[in-house]
Structure 1
């Protein structure tokens, strides 16, 4: 089960775990994400429930409906485990878990929270376990979950696809119909639903297209807002749907991205020279801290959205510098990493069957 999310983080982490579970498990998805089709396309039974914001209703009216939907789903397909990936914890979920204490309930809770979400930590004890997917930038995490790390099961950063599982450069470029001699820059600045990236996006594209040997591959978010700004300005600028984009990322020479959990860890662990533009909306995680961490270590560049007028062009020039790109890739490749998704699967398989239920 996952919440709606502005990006794909919650759903992508659950797909990463589901793909690694053994044949005796049958993952079933209940999600509020508008990218729910990605789970269905992956072969998983999927139920989509709109978040109360999307319905324009109050939580007090929405939570009983969520509780009813959960109850019907549990009766239809009684689960051995409920793995919940979200920041907010909803009353309808809490009430359902209280009635079904035989279900092993896990809160898969990524860190880098903002202070406004602290209230949800009081509900941690309602779960049998809390798993924290790791953060490369953990040392800059100043959020409210930091003080509780000793109480949770921490695992390394979670990726759907390991860097070595990507397509080779030539095959990836062939599948994307990209010229072999072009400098390809992937652009992935999020859905735009809560933080307007259009000014910095347009400034970055303009700076990139001043170079005739550059192709901008503009990757549309599966949960994007619609709008007329999604128009390719010239043949060097291509707008495509591609998920998971990381599979083809060896085709990219560089990237301009928002450092959400998935994209940040994919680009750093994949050694992709990246200009990070954080989504700094109040309800988001600490994307600025992630970007600062990578910039301080020479692994990436940072441009804040509101600095686009003076910062976009020099940042793009640095990104296109071959020596800079080689340096960033080399620093990224120094990281030693194992996939936290494997650790999460082991934890669930070891604890979900026959675990004594705690009193709620």
Structure 2
């Protein structure tokens, strides 16, 4: 096994180490990094970069230690290496050594640690412009993905703060012949998206590793030098070996002077567009052949650039049936998991979907007949808010290795989802329900849309509730995804009779309350109030329905006319009810409508939730339900009596029976997934979403 480390002490040195390990992994060389050698105060992106390579074992006989930035070896690092070197006897060190004496001194120190003479490799004169060398060995691997008909252009650090340059980027993005992506630093990305939004995909350096970004590039134009930027140098190595046309758009064209695989190009984005049209696009295939066959590209081969660091592992045989993974977030209840299960149940391809789900969702998913890999929920025991997602990231990578597609249902695209799609070259599919609250900031979620080949939007039942948050031919709208439970009159009577027998209570009115699990907002007061309102009525059975894992209060169990039911299949109780008192989340709202159940909605109002007030009001304005604010307990009692004693439940049921609702989108959503997953020609490959041009 190869153990990698750096003698540098800066954050950038650890970033270089992560890049180096990812390049080795792409070359089929198994690389590991000792957990004990990594500081504990790293940023989130770097923790995710390193997570899959960490190990707590020491090197054993036959293992090999590789050091980056060895010229910056300190006494403290020397002591750490002595402690962590284990039984390894072989060491290879990369660095820049200004004098022969410096190399001799370093060799002596490392010989003391490892008990044998190390192999030193001087990167001072490795061919990069300026003669200062790179920060690590530069090598690359040809990409694996297919090239789409509409080539993807990567612009590396254009001057986005210059209005003229920014206008040139917009003009390029408007082209129907190119898909434009920007690679820049974090500050420039934030500035661009503040002004222009997220419709042009932008990566900052720290959010994507070079080997993963290379899979999404067919032409690359760099406006910044490569000197000293190991991440960018490795990206160039991957692209060069893949035969991607590389354009030097820097002043003076110093890169093209040193590396013959670069083509001199205009140094501004405005004149780059006609140059691409006239010179690059018509000759892209020939330029690519020259690039891949160049002397520099040959030097980027691992067997040339790396001094016998290991033997690449052969590719594993392809699975004839590529897995299709569904990953619902846990959200507030079971809505995301239920929506995924309903769609997965409509998949008609030979691939049986598999799930990765949180503990609160696994029982529901299994009840639909799907295998589930458990994920880790966030806990107060975690020191960092994203620590559970680090574990989920490692698990998801393992689950989807060798797979083809990942379907995510949720509002926020977690790092684990984002990186798994990128790093496992998956075709990402995002089931994204809308109706976000006006004050919500969803810029991060929309920015991460760029890694999805398709976005499926289950629409709301009423047109005024549907808002488009992104545009492009990768967005597919379908009807409401809803679980419908149909009971005949006989089945309904039988179920109600069995409830009466089970609980020893005769009733004329079945009232079901589904107010959530107390996570988005505490609804215990409203439930307790409902228990008190139904208690004097001998004609009512009140069921407090909770999903498994939801909070419950001891006081709910002391009422004669109320029973607490834990279930993830509330739909059958809903279909048998005379009245439902419920929150107005997407799934429950549409089940009420499609099952034609009269309802009083008490919307949840958490800042991170969808706009349940708008949804409930739309039904109320049509006479299909009533809306009560959570603090209006006296009005809730009046509405309850109006529905049960004054005929409003029957009148509402009659209006529900007459209303025309959109055709459910369960099957349409499944077809949209199958189109991506079953595409064997790469027309919708793992190369990213096809975005509409920015609107100006």
Structure 2-normalised TM-score?
0.48
Please tell me whether the aligned partners of residues 624 and 656 of structure 2 are also in contact (alpha carbons under 8 angstroms). yes
**Once structures 1 and 2 are overlaid, which stretch shifts more, 19-28 or 181-190?**
19-28
Distance of 2:490 and 2:586 partners within structure 1: 22
**Offset at 1:214?**
1.0
Q: Which residue, 586, 595, 608 being the options, matches 1:270?
A: 595
Distance of 1:165 and 1:149 partners within structure 2: 43
Distance of 1:238 and 1:201 partners within structure 2: 12
- Structure 2 partner of 1:86: 410
- Structure 1 partner of 2:669: 344
1:279 and 2:601 matched: no
- Structure 1 partner of 2:468: 146
**Offset at 1:168?**
2.9
Question: 1:10-48 CA distances to partner (integer Å, 9 max, x unpaired)?
Answer: 001011012222372311111135132211233211112
SS in structure 1 opposite 2:512? strand
Distance of 2:386 and 2:335 partners within structure 1: 26
Change in 2 beyond 3 A, CA 1:202/1:61? closer
Alignment of 1:64-103 (within 5 A): 64-75=390-401, 78-101=402-425, 103=426
**Once structures 1 and 2 are overlaid, which stretch shifts more, 49-58 or 39-48?**
49-58
Distance of 1:208 and 1:180 partners within structure 2: 14
Q: Which residue, 196, 201, 219 being the options, matches 2:522?
A: 196
Question: 1:89-122 CA distances to partner (integer Å, 9 max, x unpaired)?
Answer: 1122212211222x32100001112313343111
Question: 1:301-350 CA distances to partner (integer Å, 9 max, x unpaired)?
Answer: 11111122x31211111221453112212222212332211111111222
Please tell me whether the aligned partners of residues 277 and 304 of structure 1 are also in contact (alpha carbons under 8 angstroms). yes
**Offset at 1:137?**
3.9
SS in structure 2 opposite 1:176? helix
Please tell me whether the aligned partners of residues 35 and 223 of structure 1 are also in contact (alpha carbons under 8 angstroms). no
Q: Which residue, 442, 450, 464 being the options, matches 1:125?
A: 450
Structure with bigger RCO (C-alpha 8 Å, 6+ apart)? 1
Please tell me whether the aligned partners of residues 188 and 219 of structure 1 are also in contact (alpha carbons under 8 angstroms). yes
Q: Which residue, 344, 354, 364 being the options, matches 1:28?
A: 354
Please tell me whether the aligned partners of residues 162 and 339 of structure 1 are also in contact (alpha carbons under 8 angstroms). no
- Structure 2 partner of 1:252: 577
Q: Which residue, 438, 462, 478 being the options, matches 1:155?
A: 478
Please tell me whether the aligned partners of residues 294 and 300 of structure 1 are also in contact (alpha carbons under 8 angstroms). yes
- Structure 2 partner of 1:359: 687
**Offset at 1:277?**
0.7
1:3 and 2:329 matched: yes
Change in 2 beyond 3 A, CA 1:321/1:337? farther
Change in 2 beyond 3 A, CA 1:164/1:346? farther
**Once structures 1 and 2 are overlaid, which stretch shifts more, 196-205 or 166-175?**
166-175
**Offset at 1:165?**
8.6
SS in structure 2 opposite 1:52? coil
**Once structures 1 and 2 are overlaid, which stretch shifts more, 148-157 or 206-215?**
148-157
Question: 1:44-91 CA distances to partner (integer Å, 9 max, x unpaired)?
Answer: 11112123346534245444332211111123xx43321100111112
SS in structure 2 opposite 1:153? strand
SS in structure 1 opposite 2:557? coil
Alignment of 1:306-321 (within 5 A): 306-308=631-633, 310-321=634-645
- Structure 1 partner of 2:432: 109
Please tell me whether the aligned partners of residues 404 and 677 of structure 2 are also in contact (alpha carbons under 8 angstroms). yes
1:324 and 2:648 matched: yes
Distance of 2:662 and 2:418 partners within structure 1: 34
SS in structure 2 opposite 1:194? coil
Distance of 1:203 and 1:180 partners within structure 2: 22
Change in 2 beyond 3 A, CA 1:161/1:271? closer
Change in 2 beyond 3 A, CA 1:283/1:33? farther
**Offset at 1:283?**
1.4
Change in 2 beyond 3 A, CA 1:73/1:147? closer
Distance of 1:216 and 1:222 partners within structure 2: 19
Distance of 1:167 and 1:97 partners within structure 2: 49
**Offset at 1:212?**
1.7
**Once structures 1 and 2 are overlaid, which stretch shifts more, 40-49 or 192-201?**
40-49
SS in structure 2 opposite 1:130? strand
Distance of 1:34 and 1:242 partners within structure 2: 11
